[in-house]
Amino acid sequence: MRIRLGTRGSALALWQARKAEALIKAAFPGAETGIVVIRTRGDAVTGKPLHELGGTGVFVKELEKALLEGEIDAAVHSLKDMPLRTPPGLRLAACLEREWPGDAFVSDRYKDLASVPSGGRIGAGSLRRESQLRALRPDLSAAPLRGNVESRTAKLRTERLDGIVIAAAGLSRLGMAASIAERLPPELFTPAPGQGIIAVETRGDAGEAAALLARLDDAASRESYRLEAAFLSETGGGCSLPVGALCLPRPGGFTLHGYIGDREGRRVHRGSALLASGDAEGAAALAGKLLDAGGRTVLDELRGTK
Instruction: Say if residue 238's pLDDT is above 80.
Output: no
CA distances (Å), origin 229, targets 16, 197, 260, 293: 22, 13, 14, 20
Question: Within the chain, which residue ranges are assigned CATH 3.40.190.10?
Answer: 2-96+197-217, 103-183
Residues annotated as catalytic are 81
CA distance 50 to 270: 24
Flag whether pLDDT at 249 surpasses 50. yes
User: What CATH fold (topology level) applies to the domain 103-183?
Assistant: D-Maltodextrin-Binding Protein; domain 2 (3.40.190)
> pLDDT tens digits for 97-153?
999 999 999 999 999 999 999 999 999 989 999 999 999 999 999 999 988 899 999
Instruction: Work out the mean pLDDT of the chain and round it to a whole number.
Output: 92
Q: Where in the chain is the domain with CATH 3.30.160.40?
A: 227-303
CA-closest candidate to residue 164, choices 259, 176, 173: 176
What pLDDT sits at residue 53? 47
d(CA 103, CA 189): 7
Task: Give the separation between CA 148 and CA 136, rounded to whole angstroms.
Answer: 25
Decide if domain 2-96+197-217 falls under CATH 3.40.190.10. Answer: yes
Q: What are phi and psi of 122, to 5 degrees?
A: -120, 130
Q: How many CB atoms neighbour CB 142 within 10 A?
A: 22
pLDDT for 54 equals 54
Please state the φ and ψ torsions of residue 24, each to the nearest 5 degrees: -60, -45
- pLDDT > 70 fraction of the chain, expressed in percent and rounded: 93
Q: Which residue, 289, 271, 266, 306, is CA-closest to 130?
A: 266
Which tens digit of pLDDT belongs to each residue from 27-69? 998 889 999 999 876 665 455 555 554 555 677 999 999 999 9
pTM for the whole thing? 0.92
Q: Tell me whether strands 103-106 and 74-78 are parallel, antiparallel or unpaired.
A: unpaired
151 half-sphere exposure, CB direction, 13 A CA radius? 12
CB 156 within 8 A of CB 69: no
| C-alpha span between 8 and 36 (Å, rounded) | 8
Those residues with Cβ within 8 angstroms of residue 226's Cβ, 6 or more apart along the chain or in another chain: 278, 280
CATH of 227-303, one of 3.40.640.10, 3.40.50.2300, 3.30.160.40, 3.30.70.890: 3.30.160.40
Cα 204 to chain center, whole Å? 24
Pairing of strands 163-167, 90-95: unpaired
Q: Say which residue, 52 or 162, is predicted with more confidence.
A: 162
Residue percentage of the chain with pLDDT more than 90:
81
